[in-house]
Amino acid sequence: MPLLGQTAPDFVADSTQGPIHFHKWIEGSWCLFFSHPKNFTPVCTTEIAQTAKLSRLFEKRGVKLIGLSVDTVESHKRWIKDIETVQNVTVTFPLIADPTLEVAELYQMVHEDELATTTVRGVFIIDPAKKIRLALYYPAVVGRNLNEILRVVDALQLSDRYSVATPANWSHGEDCFIADTLQDQKEIEKLFPKGFRGERPYLRYVSDPSISRE
């Protein structure tokens, strides 16, 4: 199973947009790679539709979207057409066909005690260096919150850019912390010349730097 910080496993697979060589396809972008259990099922339909509805927001953050299930390319294409009709949205991102579970195994998307022969709802955020930055598994009966995935992308990109960490329930624009891994005083003064606030030495609050500095 790929762990946080490790390189996302590479693969070649068929998709609704032709064969995909994953590492080449990522091509220096962020990526949201997700699996769903089965086409033409209710929860999965709403998830693909919601992802499509938010695709401009992912694009704005430089995140490419790609889904996967055990269904065939033909099934994916029929389902996408149906989603476009019943959910009134255009699906512009590719869906990978993984009937042999070859790719699913690389990402440990098959949890046999949850679903015997198909993938669970896997979520992987991969950065431009192809490192896994978030790995989540959701059960079959619970649809994912795509706004939460966007929130994590925002938090990761903010952290990478400004050496900050984000508190529980943080969202864009709210205060964050100087990353706990940053302890060098000179470096802190250089990166945070206005200093920080906090009632404890380990609670080093700063304003969201993407707002206070831009």
Catalytic residues: 44
Instruction: With H, G, I as helix, E, B as strand and everything else as coil, classify residue 178.
Output: strand
Q: Which is nearer to ligand BEZ, 37 or 94 (CB)?
A: 37
The answer to whether 65 and 4 are in contact (CB under 8 A) is no
Map residues 21-50 to x or -, x wherever contact with ligand BEZ holds by CB under 6 A.
----------------xx--xxxx------
Q: Which is nearer to ligand BEZ, 44 or 123 (CB)?
A: 44
Angle formed at CA 70 by CA 40 and CA 44, multiple of 5 degrees = 35
The answer to whether 70 and 35 are in contact (CB under 8 A) is no
- Kindly state the smallest distance separating residue 49's Cβ from ligand BEZ, in Å: 12
The answer to whether 109 and 68 are in contact (CB under 8 A) is yes
- Kindly state the smallest distance separating residue 76's Cβ from ligand BEZ, in Å: 15
Is residue 87 a contact residue for ligand BEZ (CB under 6 A)?
A: no
Q: Which is nearer to ligand BEZ, 139 or 167 (CB)?
A: 139
- Kindly state the smallest distance separating residue 44's Cβ from ligand BEZ, in Å: 4
Please list every residue from 115 through 154 that binds ligand BEZ, using CB under 6 A: 140-141
* Residue count, binding to ligand BEZ (CB under 6 A): 8
How many residues would you count in the chain? 214
Q: Which is nearer to ligand BEZ, 43 or 106 (CB)?
A: 43
The answer to whether 64 and 26 are in contact (CB under 8 A) is yes
Helix axes 42-53, 146-162, angle to 10 degrees: 40
Q: E strands, the chain, where? A: 12-15, 20-21, 30-35, 63-69, 95-97, 121-126, 132-138, 164-165, 176-178, 205-206
- Kindly state the smallest distance separating residue 31's Cβ from ligand BEZ, in Å: 23
**Given the rule CB under 6 A, which residues bind ligand BEZ?**
37-38, 41-44, 140-141
